[in-house]
Amino acid sequence: MEQAPQGSKAFVYSLVLLWIIQKMAFLYLDQAKEGWRIGVMINLFFILAIAAHTLWFRFRKVAPSQTSLIDDFRVGLQRTGLYVMLIGGFILLYYYVIDRDFLENQVQTLLAGERAKLDDYATFEEFARDQKIPHIESETEFLEQTETNIRTVYNPFLSAGGALIGMLMWAAFCAMSVTVLFRKVVFR
C-alpha cells in the first residue's frame, strides 16, 4: 500500500494557509459575507488542485499499469482528506470563536425576510391561509417558530459539519475524476 508523495503534504499545508489568510483578510476588510462566497469557490479549486498535484507526482514515479484504480483513488483522497479535515476544523473555529456574529447576521437577515413577507398581508390569518401554515395562531408565534427553525440550521456545529460533508463529497469526486482522467488520457 503506497503512500501519497511527500511533497504533496507541504502543498496541502500551503493551500490551507492560503485559504485561512484569504478568509481572515475578508473578515479584516469587513466583507465576511462576500468572502464566504469566494472562499467556497477557492476551496473547490484547491481540493481539485490537491488531487491533481498528488496524482501527477504519483504517476510520474509509478506507471498506471502497475497500480489499481482503487489504490490511485485512495492516494488522491489521502491528501484531499487532509485538506478537508484541516479546513473543516478551521471553519468550526471560525464560526465558534473568530466571527461569532457571522451566523447571527445570517439569522437576522432571514428573519427580516420573513417579517417582510408578513408585511405584504393585511392580517396574519390571510398570510397563514395563503402560506398554508397550520397550527400557528399569531404572528408572534410564527416568528418565534421561524426563528427557532433558522437557529437550528445556522449554528456553528451544523454549519461546519455541513461544510465538512460537502467538501468530503467534492474531494471524493475530484480524486476519482482526476484518477480516471490521468489513467485513461494523460498517462496512457
For the segment 153-165, what is each residue's pLDDT rounded down to a tens digit? 888 888 888 999 9
69 CA to centre of own chain: 27
Q: In angstroms, rounded to a whole number, what is the distance separating the alpha carbons of residues 59 and 66?
A: 10
Query: 36 vs 87, which has greater pLDDT?
Result: 87
Residue with cell 492516494: 75
- Does residue 179 belong to any structural domain of this protein? yes
- Does residue 131 belong to any structural domain of this protein? no
Q: In angstroms, rounded to a whole number, what is the distance separating the alpha carbons of residues 82 and 71?
A: 17
Q: Are 24 and 97 in contact (CB under 8 A)?
A: no
- Does residue 136 belong to any structural domain of this protein? no
Q: Domain residues for 60? A: 7-99+156-186
pLDDT for the residue numbered 7: 67
Buried b (16+ CB within 10 A) or exposed e, 84-122: bebbbebbbebbeeebeebbeebeeebeeeeeeebeeee
148 burial (CB, 10 Å; 0-12 / 13-18 / 19+) is exposed
pLDDT band at 51 (very low <50, low <70, confident <90, very high): very high
- Structural domains counted in the chain: 1
- Does residue 27 belong to any structural domain of this protein? yes
CB-facing half-sphere around the CA of 35: CA atoms within 13 A: 17
pLDDT for the residue numbered 6: 63
- Does residue 36 belong to any structural domain of this protein? yes
- Does residue 11 belong to any structural domain of this protein? yes
- Does residue 146 belong to any structural domain of this protein? no
Average pLDDT, rounded, for the chain: 85
pLDDT for the residue numbered 129: 67
- Does residue 147 belong to any structural domain of this protein? no
